[in-house]
């Protein structure tokens, strides 16, 4: 079968190639998905560039990407929750990376039936951003009337998180640049802050939750805008001690600055490391079918133009997700 593979760490144009590879073999708990569409995310670019080579080294060549939608064509003998012919979507686990290919084998726990009211392309755009937003906002227990600041509302995770938070009845502040203000408003955000002309730190006061999707100074600044006892949840900032322990870093301590900020505001800080989860994708399926959340797609590329799709991702200018139509 044909697959887009990472041949070495380096620049996108030098490190990706279409190769003929053998079809994956399903293990007892796997389903084999005939890929209809795959989607790419900033993490896919970072992996190619080698930014994660110490944490998550990959063998070469490795097929690229994690997000997928398609049809179950084969299943392992311990799979009871799917049938051949089921239309599914998934964010595949690290060790099964490789969705820009004609087939991918995925552990069935990481798979869900796809929402029935959207296309394969739209379904492929959801898993990684949806799971990241859902797992982050579920962790902080977002609820009706909570005030939440979601950074980068026009990003993949941000645009999903806005819709998720609105579905839960929260009041949503979000930041974005001038060009994106209008369409981000349409996602339902109550107060869209154009960071080019407004200072979010003046506008947002006493937030219950800050969802930090930017990291850097933004993590510390979150404590300026949350209320006493508020919650900061980050997908890019420093690890928290519990998460670090999960990764085997038993001696890790939360950076002193963050620790002080938490103490001063009696606040909590949590780093969320998105994990593949079919049940969570099932929750997202229901929210999509009930139109509480809509997929946002920037552009769909044919399989043969997958490398161009990565080049587009690298510009950082996409308004919504970049999807690759496989078949």
Rule CB under 8 A: which residues touch other proteins?
A: 36, 69, 83, 85, 87, 114, 116-121, 123, 289-291
Rank residues 257 and 291 by Cβ distance to other proteins and give the closer one.
291
> Cβ closer to other proteins: 120 or 173?
120
Give the shortest CB-23-to-other proteins separation in angstroms. Answer: 20
In the bound complex, what is the minimum distance in angstroms from residue 38's beta carbon to other proteins? Answer: 14
- What does the block give as tokens for 40? 């790419």
Cα dihedral 254/255/257/261 (nearest 10): -10
Shorter beta-carbon distance to other proteins: residue 83 or 206: 83
Closer CB to other proteins, residue 30 or residue 121?
A: 121
Q: Considering the complex, what minimum distance in angstroms separates the CB of residue 88 from other proteins?
A: 10
* Tokens read off for 179: 């060009």
219: left (phi over 0), alpha (psi -120 to 50) or beta: alpha
Which position has the token pair 């920037």?
Answer: 298
Q: 35 or 254: whose CB is closer to other proteins?
A: 35
- Among residues 19, 6, 96, 101, the alpha carbon closest in space to that of 49 is found at 6
CA 296 to chain CA centroid, nearest Å:
13
Min separation Cβ 289 and other proteins, Å: 5
Q: CB–CB of 238/244 below 8 Å?
A: no
Alpha-helix residue ranges (DSSP H) falling in 145-191: 156-167, 181-186
Parallel, antiparallel, or unpaired: how do β-strands 87-91 and 67-75 relate? antiparallel
- Residue with smaller CB distance to other proteins, 34 or 305: 34
What single string gives the DSSP state of each residue in 251-311?
T----HHHHHHHHHHT-EEEE------HHHHHHHHHHHHTTSS---EEEEEEGGGHHHHHH
Could you tell me the smallest distance in angstroms from the CB atom of residue 137 to other proteins? 23
Q: Which is nearer to other proteins, 34 or 224 (CB)?
A: 34
Give the side-chain half-sphere CA count within 13 A for 164: 30
Q: Which is nearer to other proteins, 94 or 327 (CB)?
A: 327
Closest residue by Cα to residue 45 from 272, 275, 322: 322
CB of 85 to other proteins, least distance (A): 5
Toward other proteins, which CB reaches closer, 24 or 70? 70
3-state helix, strand, coil in the chain (%, to 5): 35, 30, 40
Shortest reach from residue 163's CB to other proteins, in Å: 15
As measured in angstroms, the least distance from the Cβ of 185 to other proteins is 17
Least gap, CB of 80 to other proteins (angstroms): 13
Taking Cα atoms as reference points, which of 35, 11, 157, 50 lies closest to residue 96?
Answer: 35
Please state, in angstroms and rounded to a whole number, the distance separating the CA atoms of residues 95 and 103. 15
């Amino acid at each position: 079968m044909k697959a887009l593979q990472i041949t070495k760490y380096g620049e996108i144009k030098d490190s990706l190639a279409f190769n003929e590879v053998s079809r994956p073999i399903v293990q007892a708990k796997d389903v084999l998905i005939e890929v209809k569409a795959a989607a790419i995310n900033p993490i896919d670019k970072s992996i190619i560039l080698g930014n994660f080579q110490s944490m998550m080294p990959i063998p070469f060549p490795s097929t690229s990407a994690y997000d997928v939608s398609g049809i179950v064509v084969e299943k392992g003998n311990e799979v009871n929750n799917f049938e051949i012919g089921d239309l599914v979507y998934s964010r595949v686990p690290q060790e099964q990376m490789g969705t820009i290919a004609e087939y991918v084998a995925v552990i069935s726990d990481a798979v869900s039936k796809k929402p029935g009211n959207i296309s394969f392309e739209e379904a492929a755009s959801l898993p990684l951003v949806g799971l990241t937003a859902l797992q982050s906002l579920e962790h902080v227990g977002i609820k009706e009337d909570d005030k939440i600041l979601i950074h980068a509302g026009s990003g993949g995770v941000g645009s999903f998180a806005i819709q998720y938070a609105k579905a839960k009845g929260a009041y949503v502040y979000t930041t974005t640049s001038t060009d994106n203000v209008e369409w981000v408003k349409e996602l339902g955000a109550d107060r869209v802050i154009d960071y080019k002309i407004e200072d979010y730190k003046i506008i947002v006061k006493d937030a219950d939750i800050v969802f930090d999707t930017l990291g850097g100074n933004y993590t510390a600044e979150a404590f300026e805008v949350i209320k006493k006892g508020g919650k900061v949840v980050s997908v890019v900032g420093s690890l928290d001690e519990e998460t670090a322990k999960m990764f085997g870093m038993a001696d890790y301590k939360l950076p002193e600055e963050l620790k002080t900020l938490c103490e001063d505001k009696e606040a909590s800080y949590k780093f969320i490391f998105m994990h593949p989860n079919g049940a969570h994708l099932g929750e997202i399926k229901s929210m999509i079918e009930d139109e509480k959340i809509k997929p946002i797609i920037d552009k769909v590329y044919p399989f043969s133009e997958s490398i161009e799709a990565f080049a587009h991702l690298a510009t950082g200018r996409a308004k919504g997700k970049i999807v690759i139509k496989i078949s």
